Structure 1
Amino acid sequence: MAELKVTTEHLKRAAYLYVRQSTLRQVAEHGESTQRQYALRARAIASGWPIERIHVIDCDLGKSGSSTTAREGFQQLVSEVALGKAGIVMGLEVSRLARNSADWHRLIELCALTMTLILDEDGIYDPANFNDRLLLGLKGTMSEAELHILKARMRGGQLNKARRGELEMCPPVGLVYRNDRTLGLDPDAQVQNAIRLVFDTFERTESAVQTVRFFREQALLFPRRLRAGPNKGDLLWAPPNHARILQVLHNPRYAGAFVYGRTRTRYRPDGGSSVVRVAKADWQFVMPGMYQGYIDWERFEANQRRLADNARAFGGERRSGPAREGPALLQGRVVCGLCGERMGVRYSQEHSRIVPTYVCQANAVRRAGWTCQTVPGKLVDAAIAALMIELLTPMSLAVTLEVQRELEARAAETDAARRQHVERMRYEAEIARRRYMKVDPDNRLVADALEAEWNEKLRLHADAAEDYERRSKQQAAALNAETRRRILDLAEQLPRIWHDSRVDVRERKRIVRLLIDDVTLIKAEKITVHVRLSGGATRSLVLERPLPIAQIRKFKPELVAEVDRLLDYYCDREIAEILNQNGWRTSEAKPFNLKKIAFIRGAYKLASRYDRLRHCGMLTTREVAARFGIAKTTVQEWGRQGLIKQCYADSLNRGLWEIPSNTTILKGRGGRRSRKPRTTSITAQLSG
């Protein structure tokens, strides 16, 4: 009956045998299934196809049939069917052709349109025939259901082992499976020290970026175990990056916990897949304390809270973040008392220094409205600093001792890491030496390569030892007895330490974050500061609003009165010198000069020294010359002879003269004045 379905039209076209195994392991171990698939060529020959028109497509060996993605052989088969080149398509069973109903029914549809037969181990089917098509569809559905059953069976066994905490998963670097299949710490001491140093540094700096920066500044390496390739299982040491440190900090297995369900696989429409991280609350199985870890579970959870808090600095709410550069003491801790949103920081220049301003821009950014309020940070920070000193002074000694212990522990950690690196370099150099000593000296091709490798290992060991010695001396100098003594001596001098310019602003911010949860600001006629401490207690401060810049730069009334008084006796330049000598300064704490005095006269409408002398009757050079009928040079000559007194002179060569009332001058011939008989009083001539 099956042979009746094969017609001459079918035999004119080619026969295609599709061969597939799901995995490479099946190809290697299940050879009988592969031979059975190749044996279908005999069925085609028996049905009338010549051997030269039977094409075998076996390039999909080792590939899953759940999708057509990456199955070039199946795509080739579909193309040949669609082009009408195939008379029959052969496969041992439906599951060999496809495990997906959509792919299987698409192939059936194409075979029905092109009058192509389908052959499996049970017989030959014509997709154009309803009964055959119904049977093929049922077989495809059963094949897909079979795949689901197999996966569910394997998934059930996997979940059952995970429920007991016995499921073996690839461990991260620093953890290895022992001979009894229990998970434990890597026996390599350098690997253990590198992992512990990551957690200790993060606990100290509270920032993953700062942890990476510490490793790079100290020239420390971090291990990575190769998972594939010819060197699978080997350790590779390299400077860590930010993503690598985050992987370590987020991995609960370092806390000795068995965790299953941290990720999920999602399949995309193009056939690919992506791995999605699952929130901690949705992890399927979490079993703390299943094996020895580098940290405990409480410390792991504290690290996760710190990382989540730091991540908020880059989210939409920007609620917190690690302590960063910038003088704003309350960065990430300020709340707007008007709208309840977090306030940002804006920096500006004031008197050649950077000052912060706390700004609430939530309404402006999200709703295109107005800025709620801006509060000068220099006032608030100063008040908070005073509060910190008040809170910290009783425990300053304990804080200082803790700082000393932290410095010593940090130095010990980095010293151990460098010492272990030197030991590893020495061991690798010794291994290279042994290889070289075992080679035949006459085999120069091998001996030269081993000798070069030995020399390279010796050079790396020498560089590592030199770097270790140099950095050890630097740390010893930084932590000598004198340094310890100075730390203890400064224990009771916390206010001076707080205001010391050498103290990094981030250290001050970390102290603030330890004691303060948030600070709410309300700016009205006065600035109200509500401080919520970590223990739940609250403090409220009321600060005076800063004066407007116009009032700050406005000259004091007593200064204006002093300038007004001095103008009766001195010019602008002389007044500036007198004010500077008496300790007067401008609003910017700068000395006075000629332009400043001129500005004060103009702003407060004070008569100048010149106008005041004119008001007192002083004459200009031109007026003296006109009154006495003499030349201007004669007026200057009289001044040099002391007959008249010059009481004012400026840069424009303008002079004012004072003529004493008891002075007489002699009038000579030709209208010239001389000291001869015929005296005339100057005052008389002026009055006449």
Structure 2
Amino acid sequence: MKGSISEFELGVLRTRMLDAARSKARRGELRLSVPFGYVWHREAGLGLDPDLRLQEVIRLIFRRFGELGSARQVLLSMKADQIHFPRPSDEGRMTGFVWLPIRYRNVISVLKNPFYAGVYVYGKSEKRTAIVDGRARRSYGHGKPVGTWEVFIKEHHEGYVSWDEYERNQKQLALNAYGRVDGVKSGRGGRALLAGIMTCRRCGRRLTVTYTGNPQSRPVYRCDKPNLMMGLPRCMTFGGPRVDAAVARELLRSVEPLAIEAAFEAERMHRERQDDQRQILDLELQQARYEANLAERRYAACDPDNRLIAAQLEKNWEIALRRVRDLEAIVSHRVV
């Protein structure tokens, strides 16, 4: 009897705690775990991380996506520029970080997180219960549509982008998802000009591209789905070179009056990219110099007779100095 009462009391306490957390979240005061680029301040609440290098990297991701329109292309361009992204070094406690080469999940997590648009959200996922082998099985982390989030507060804190830009980014990411109906698909390599763009007028399915010849360099457009899935005859098959050439001629004829403006715009974008890269390198060099000075102070404060500690501190100092020299060489090379 006492055990049943205690279990009931625990359930009541748990329910009250969850209700209190939801009530606090509705006011935007529940201190959730926030993404990189934000910190909870004791007095001011949620604000930007004071690390300028981190701020610039996050803003650069959004700028590159606005220019390139693809998360993977953003990754490749930032990889080419040797840009790093922080990663927790303390098993998820988010108190210490190391800067490592950026990965795809870093880019996509920044682009998809509404916190970067200045929106406070709570209850984005839900748990589901299903009967498996006669037993109830719960699974967690199932995402919910935007309109069904429990708490949604716009302009709650300073954002890296506006909400309108965030929505445009989500639409572009949805269009880039290969294999889904509707929307223009990105090309998957090859020489075909219209890969992922044309659809079959008879069945409405997207045309696929195959390559023939020796070497296989001649594109052929075909509607294969009815044949592959239902054994029906192909809707159409036609060679690609003549179609691609005709479309290319019309495209060049249409953009010819804007060629000079396009060249100036390309030059401007190239300069902006170089400026962004230079600013990231300057901030990274400043941080490396600070870490080298910190390592030097730690080594100077150590008892020289305690060789077990002094040797490791000296090694850390040498590594920090080597990092500074490498970055200075990269910066000087880029300036030249």
Q: TM-score, normalised by structure 1?
A: 0.45
Q: Which residue of 2 aligns with 1:176?
A: 39
What's the CA shift string for 1:482-524, capped at 9, x where partnerless? xxxxxxxxxxxxxxxxxxxxxxxxxxxxxxxxxxxxxxxxxxx
State whether structure 2 residue 191 is matched by structure 1 residue 322: no
Q: Kindly report which structure 2 residues correspond to 1:338-357, keeping only aligned pairs within 5 A, or say none.
A: 338-349=202-213, 354-357=217-220
Q: Which residue of 2 aligns with 1:157?
A: 20
Specify which of 309, 319, 332 is matched with residue 175 of structure 2: 309
Given that 1:174 and 1:192 are in contact with CA atoms closer than 8 Å, whether structure 2 keeps it comes out as yes
1:226 Cα deviation (Å)?
A: 5.0
Q: Which residue of 2 aligns with 1:415?
A: 278
What's the CA shift string for 1:628-652, capped at 9, x where partnerless? xxxxxxxxxxxxxxxxxxxxxxxxx
Q: Which residue of 2 aligns with 1:6?
A: none
What's the CA shift string for 1:319-378, capped at 9, x where partnerless? 64334422222222101111122111112237x672222211221233221111013222
Instruction: Find the aligned partners of 2:107 and 2:90 in 1 and give their Cα distance.
Output: 18
Q: Structure 2 counterpart of 1:407, which letter?
A: H
Deviates more, 1:261-270 or 1:382-391: 261-270
State whether structure 2 residue 148 is matched by structure 1 residue 238: no
Instruction: Find the aligned partners of 1:243 and 1:270 in 2 and give their Cα distance.
Output: 33
Instruction: Find the aligned partners of 2:64 and 2:335 in 1 and give their Cα distance.
Output: 19
Instruction: Find the aligned partners of 2:192 and 2:123 in 1 and give their Cα distance.
Output: 42
Q: Which residue of 2 aligns with 1:286?
A: 152
Q: Structure 2 counterpart of 1:303, which letter?
A: N
Given that 1:173 and 1:225 are in contact with CA atoms closer than 8 Å, whether structure 2 keeps it comes out as no
Structure 1 residues 336, 421: CA separation in 2 closer, same or farther (over 3 Å shift)?
A: same
Instruction: Find the aligned partners of 2:5 and 2:173 in 1 and give their Cα distance.
Output: 48
Q: Kindly report which structure 2 residues correspond to 1:474-489, keeping only aligned pairs within 5 A, or say none.
A: none
Given that 1:221 and 1:238 are in contact with CA atoms closer than 8 Å, whether structure 2 keeps it comes out as yes
Given that 1:173 and 1:224 are in contact with CA atoms closer than 8 Å, whether structure 2 keeps it comes out as no
State whether structure 2 residue 202 is matched by structure 1 residue 202: no
Given that 1:222 and 1:239 are in contact with CA atoms closer than 8 Å, whether structure 2 keeps it comes out as yes
Q: Structure 2 counterpart of 1:168, which letter?
A: R
Q: Which residue of 1 aligns with 2:4?
A: 94
Structure 1 residues 394, 325: CA separation in 2 closer, same or farther (over 3 Å shift)?
A: same
1:395 Cα deviation (Å)?
A: 2.6
Structure 1 residues 396, 321: CA separation in 2 closer, same or farther (over 3 Å shift)?
A: same
Structure 1 residues 161, 398: CA separation in 2 closer, same or farther (over 3 Å shift)?
A: farther
Q: Structure 2 counterpart of 1:401, which letter?
A: F
Specify which of 68, 74, 98 is matched with residue 211 of structure 1: 74
1:438 Cα deviation (Å)?
A: 1.4
Q: Which residue of 2 aligns with 1:403?
A: 266
Q: Which residue of 2 aligns with 1:253?
A: 115
1:383 Cα deviation (Å)?
A: 2.0
Q: Which residue of 2 aligns with 1:572?
A: none
Q: Structure 1 counterpart of 2:162, which letter?
A: D
What's the CA shift string for 1:453-501, capped at 9, x where partnerless? 111211122122223323443xxxxxxxxxxxxxxxxxxxxxxxxxxxx
Q: Which residue of 1 aligns with 2:238?
A: 375
Instruction: Find the aligned partners of 1:414 and 1:95 in 2 and give their Cα distance.
Output: 63
1:391 Cα deviation (Å)?
A: 2.4
What's the CA shift string for 1:202-225, capped at 9, x where partnerless? 222222222222222222110134
1:257 Cα deviation (Å)?
A: 1.1
Structure 1 residues 393, 384: CA separation in 2 closer, same or farther (over 3 Å shift)?
A: same
Structure 1 residues 151, 227: CA separation in 2 closer, same or farther (over 3 Å shift)?
A: farther
State whether structure 2 residue 332 is matched by structure 1 residue 469: yes
Q: Structure 2 counterpart of 1:347, which letter?
A: Y
Instruction: Find the aligned partners of 1:225 and 1:296 in 2 and give their Cα distance.
Output: 27
Instruction: Find the aligned partners of 1:274 and 1:248 in 2 and give their Cα distance.
Output: 22
User: SS state of the match for residue 204, structure 2?
Assistant: coil
1:305 Cα deviation (Å)?
A: 0.8
Aligned residues: 332
Given that 1:259 and 1:283 are in contact with CA atoms closer than 8 Å, whether structure 2 keeps it comes out as yes
What's the CA shift string for 1:367-422, capped at 9, x where partnerless? 22111101322222222222222322233333222211110111111111122112
Instruction: Find the aligned partners of 1:355 and 1:373 in 2 and give their Cα distance.
Output: 17
Structure 1 residues 320, 365: CA separation in 2 closer, same or farther (over 3 Å shift)?
A: farther
State whether structure 2 residue 274 is matched by structure 1 residue 274: no
Structure 1 residues 287, 227: CA separation in 2 closer, same or farther (over 3 Å shift)?
A: farther
State whether structure 2 residue 204 is matched by structure 1 residue 333: no
Instruction: Find the aligned partners of 1:226 and 1:456 in 2 and give their Cα distance.
Output: 18
Structure 1 residues 179, 385: CA separation in 2 closer, same or farther (over 3 Å shift)?
A: same
Instruction: Find the aligned partners of 2:179 and 2:281 in 1 and give their Cα distance.
Output: 35
Q: Structure 2 counterpart of 1:444, which letter?
A: R
Instruction: Find the aligned partners of 1:166 and 1:314 in 2 and give their Cα distance.
Output: 41
Instruction: Find the aligned partners of 1:432 and 1:300 in 2 and give their Cα distance.
Output: 41
Structure 1 residues 182, 398: CA separation in 2 closer, same or farther (over 3 Å shift)?
A: farther
1:148 Cα deviation (Å)?
A: 4.8
What's the CA shift string for 1:548-582, capped at 9, x where partnerless? xxxxxxxxxxxxxxxxxxxxxxxxxxxxxxxxxxx
What's the CA shift string for 1:651-670, capped at 9, x where partnerless? xxxxxxxxxxxxxxxxxxxx
Given that 2:85 and 2:106 are in contact with CA atoms closer than 8 Å, whether structure 1 keeps it comes out as no
Instruction: Find the aligned partners of 1:405 and 1:377 in 2 and give their Cα distance.
Output: 35
User: SS state of the match for residue 342, structure 1?
Assistant: coil
Higher relative contact order at CA 8 Å, sep ≥6: structure 1 or structure 2?
2
Deviates more, 1:445-454 or 1:319-328: 319-328
User: SS state of the match for residue 217, structure 2?
Assistant: strand
Specify which of 108, 112, 127 is matched with residue 265 of structure 1: 127
State whether structure 2 residue 313 is matched by structure 1 residue 450: yes
Instruction: Find the aligned partners of 1:182 and 1:253 in 2 and give their Cα distance.
Output: 14
Root-mean-square deviation (Å): 2.5
User: SS state of the match for residue 39, structure 2?
Assistant: strand
Given that 1:215 and 1:239 are in contact with CA atoms closer than 8 Å, whether structure 2 keeps it comes out as no
Given that 2:127 and 2:138 are in contact with CA atoms closer than 8 Å, whether structure 1 keeps it comes out as no
Q: Kindly report which structure 2 residues correspond to 1:55-204, keeping only aligned pairs within 5 A, or say none.
A: 93-94=3-4, 99=7, 143=8, 146-204=9-67
1:250 Cα deviation (Å)?
A: 0.6
Larger Rg: 1
Q: TM-score, normalised by structure 2?
A: 0.89
Structure 1 residues 203, 95: CA separation in 2 closer, same or farther (over 3 Å shift)?
A: farther
Instruction: Find the aligned partners of 2:21 and 2:157 in 1 and give their Cα distance.
Output: 20
What's the CA shift string for 1:31-66, capped at 9, x where partnerless? xxxxxxxxxxxxxxxxxxxxxxxxxxxxxxxxxxxx
The alignment-based identity, stated in percent, is: 33
1:227 Cα deviation (Å)?
A: 6.5
1:92 Cα deviation (Å)?
A: 5.4
User: SS state of the match for residue 82, structure 2?
Assistant: coil
Q: Identify unmatched segments of 5+ residues in structure 1.
A: 1-90, 100-142, 474-688
1:232 Cα deviation (Å)?
A: 4.6
1:270 Cα deviation (Å)?
A: 7.7
Structure 1 residues 381, 211: CA separation in 2 closer, same or farther (over 3 Å shift)?
A: same
